[in-house]
Amino acid sequence: MTSIWLLLTILICTVQGQFQDICQAGVCDCQGENTTTILVVKCVCDKRTQELILNSGLLAKLPFINRFTVQDCNDLVLTKDSFKYARQLQVLSIKRTRNVTLAMGVFSSLNSLNIEDVDYLRFQPGSFMGASGVATISIHRSFISELPIFALYNMTGLRTFELDNVNLGNVKSQSLHLQMDNYQSRFTMTNCTIAQLAIRCRWVDEQERGPSVHVHVHVLSSKHVPERSCEMGQQFAESNNVL
């Protein structure tokens, strides 16, 4: 009987300690105005930049954070269900990071995603597929190597989609399909470059009153893109130098 109780005690202690707080997981600087709700993580230690692989366990002990910023990392990987336990997270910001990878199914209930100054941003197929809680996606001064199939597909409830000074590599067919629900919604692409635009790339589905659409894009290659195939709300790609 004593052995059984000892074994149970060991198992309970192991389970309780299996989730390591992100501030104890090797990141160099972990702080915030109030670490229970606002958290800022940096990956620079004595001028040496580290990587961070974010998984659900690292945020398990911080269920009440609503603003989370990761910056100054070498490599940042957001795995599937990274924010499974951070149910109150509203705003995720990623800044000044060399490589960022967004895994399939990484987001579901996030309200706002802000990305700035990322050298190499990778979307895996299905990163945002079916996401209904994401209201704002804003990407500035970054390079997106590829938008694979279903990367931002069948997203409902999106209010703002903004790309500013973003270079996109290959935009695959069926990679981007946004259902923007009302006239207050905004779709903006400013000073962007697309290396290759694939066939059938309808981007925005407006509802009763279409979203505000502003597009200033230069496409280097639009091979196999038929006329009017890239309809964007009430405007068409060819009227905005996209085709």
Q: How are beta strands 29-31 and 38-42 bridged, if at all?
A: antiparallel
Q: Is the pLDDT of residue 114 over 90?
A: yes
Instruction: Output the pTM of the full model.
Output: 0.76
Q: What is the mean pLDDT of residues 191-216?
A: 62
Q: Is the pLDDT of residue 111 over 90?
A: no
All structural domains of the chain = 22-240 (3.80.10)
pLDDT category at 129 given cuts 50, 70, 90 is: low
Q: Is the pLDDT of residue 224 over 50?
A: no
1-5, 16-20, 118-122, range with greatest mean pLDDT: 118-122
The amino acid at residue 47 is: K
Residue 231 has a pLDDT of 41
Residue 100 has a pLDDT of 95
pLDDT category at 95 given cuts 50, 70, 90 is: very high
